[in-house]
Structure formats: C-alpha cells, structure tokens
Amino acid sequence: MKKISVVIPLLNEEGSLPELMKAIAGVMDERSFNYEVLFVDDGSTDSSYTVCSRLYNEFPGKVRVIRFSRNYGKSAALSAGMKKAVGDIIVTMDADLQDDPALIPEMVEKIEEGWDVVSGWKKKRFDPLFTKNIPSKFFNVTTSLLSGLKLHDFNCGFKAYRASAAKSLEIYGERHRYLPVLAYWNGYKVTEMIVPHHKRKYGKTKFGMNRFLNGFFDLLTLLFLRKYLANPLHFFGILGIVFGITGSAILGYFGIQWIIHQEMHIRPLVLLSMGSIIMGIQFFSIGLIGEMITNTQRKNIYTIRDELE
C-alpha cells in the first residue's frame, strides 16, 4: 500500500493543531491509509511546538515534527517537509483548519489516476473581498497568462503531489505560490479540483497585501530564470545589440552631418547615443560573464521522471 505524507507548515497555530490532527487521523484511519503527518514549526512564538510534541506522543509512529530556529517563511517550511517526507504521495495543507482533510482521499485518487500534481481550488472563499479575494483573482489570471498553466487558484496551500514531482521542485524565497507552475515546467501533469474553504476558527492570517506585489516580482524572476538561466547571453546580448545599433546609428547620422557641413555641435542626442553604445557594450559583457559562470557551474538541466535499473 502506498504511503501518504501530510506536510503542514505552521506559524502560531496552537489552537487549531489538535483538532486538525484528529480530523486527519479520522480520515486516514477510516480508509486504512498508511500515513505520516509532518508538522513544520516555522519559528512559532506561541506554544505550537509544545502542542506538536504532545501530538507526537499521542499518535506514535504517525506524527513527526520539525522546528525551525526562527521564522524562515512558508517556502522554507514546505521545502523541509517535502525533503523529510517518505510517502509515495505528499499532501500539503495549512494548519489553520481552513483546509478540509476529508478531501485528501479524493486527491489521492486523482494522483492514482495518473496526475502528478493536484492543486486545490477554493472556488468559494471566506476572505475579505478587497484585501484578498479581488487581488487573488487578478494574481491567478496574471499567473495563468504568463506561465502557460491554466489554474483558478495557484496560492491554495491544499495540494497533493506524486513524490517524484514534489522532490523535483526547488523551493525557496516565495516560490511556494508557484509550485504547480514549477512542476508543469518540469514536465509533470497538473490538474485542479474544487475544495471547500472554511472560516478561520483560531488565530489570525499571517499574510498581508504586500504578498501579491512580492508574488508578481517572484513570477517575473521565475519566467526570466526559466528562459535565460542556461543562456544569459541570449537576453543580455539582445539588449546589447539593440542599444549598440541604436547608438551607432544616431552617432553615424551626426558623423555624416559633420562630413557634409564640416561642423557639428554637441547636442544632448549625441551624448545619449554615446551612452547607448556604452550600455550596449556593458550588456553584452554581462551576458558573456553570465555564460562563463553558467558553463563553469553547470548542473543537470533535466528532470528524471521514472527510472528502471
């Protein structure tokens, strides 16, 4: 029987943890699943770790606990949990009871159907309209258009992964928002399913409006790295050529004027053209240096999906 690892990043969620663990255990035991639950305490300042320790003793062999020395963020917590998980299927969910463990079996079934990643879609949300719902819709539409992966809800923490897909992901910074995108770019099959969204019972949300701006910058970074990480000269070289040709053309025009009229006044456009040529040389040089770095530190740029030995 396949083993299921449930990875739960948490920050100051002492009130919800016992109820969440009881709900997960109820669902898993009802289906006779072989499972483990990994709580990743992301530097909580309340008694969350004490509660996790109590659950570790209360559910022997089923609960594992990772505790960070300080708050590193959700991406770091997910990365640590996925690396430590030993299950064939890895389910991630939030610790605030807004995700319903009753949907885990359905997610597992979709993985067994052949999907590699099943992403939750909170179609009906109980979040503030202007601070979370509307920005989330804009964020999801933008991400779908730019990434090529059509999903309704990228930021839902309730997801299921085939272990090979989860462990292929490099998760750091704020990449947790784009895990389905990263898996899709790695060649894995991604789908979504509607999941209920419950109102928060304990504590308060840890996310503010700045997460959407940060998320947009992270998306631009991922798009750039995906296309130009292996060949930075393809990006910087084009910029160098554009600036160089533009500056040279303008400077050439004024050179012809000087030959014809035997005089030339220093104009702002002349200075700009010279600056454009210098910028073109700099961009091209940056691209060459980037190529040298990537070639001396090159790593595998492929992902192995299956292997028979």
Asked whether the predicted pLDDT for residue 301 surpasses 80, the reply is no
Is the distance from CB of 12 to CB of 46 less than 8 angstroms? yes
Nearest Cα to Cα of residue 41 among 68, 78, 62: 68
pTM over 0.75: yes
Helix (H, G, I), strand (E, B) or coil at 270: helix
Asked whether the predicted pLDDT for residue 304 surpasses 70, the reply is no
Q: What is the pLDDT of residue 308?
A: 42
Domain map (residue ranges) of the chain: 3-228, 233-296
Q: pLDDT band at 268, cuts 50/70/90?
A: confident
Asked whether the predicted pLDDT for residue 130 surpasses 50, the reply is no
- DSSP code at position 178: G
Q: What is the pLDDT of residue 298?
A: 56
- DSSP code at position 125: -
Backbone angles phi, psi at 47, to 5 degrees: -95, 25
d(CA 63, CA 189): 29
Q: pLDDT band at 83, cuts 50/70/90?
A: very high
Task: Please give the residue that has the higher pLDDT: either 281 or 210.
Answer: 281
Per-residue b or e along 246-281, where b marks 16 or more CB atoms closer than 10 Å to that residue's CB: bbbebbeebeeeeeeeeeeeeeeebeebeebbebbe
Is the distance from CB of 13 to CB of 44 less than 8 angstroms? yes
CATH number of this structure's domain 3-228, picked from the four choices 3.30.565.10, 3.40.640.10, 3.90.550.10, 3.30.310.80:
3.90.550.10
d(CA 155, CA 166): 16
Those residues whose C-beta lies under 8 Å from the C-beta of residue 111, and which sit 6 or more positions away, are 89, 118, 160, 161, 162
Q: pLDDT band at 103, cuts 50/70/90?
A: very high
Is the distance from CB of 120 to CB of 192 less than 8 angstroms? yes
Number of neighbouring beta carbons within 10 Å of residue 130: 9
Task: Please give the residue that has the higher pLDDT: either 301 or 42.
Answer: 42
Q: What is the pLDDT of residue 54?
A: 96
SS (H, E, C) 63-112: EEEEECCCCCCHHHHHHHHHHHCCCCEEEECCCCCCCCHHHHHHHHHHHH
Residue type, 52: C
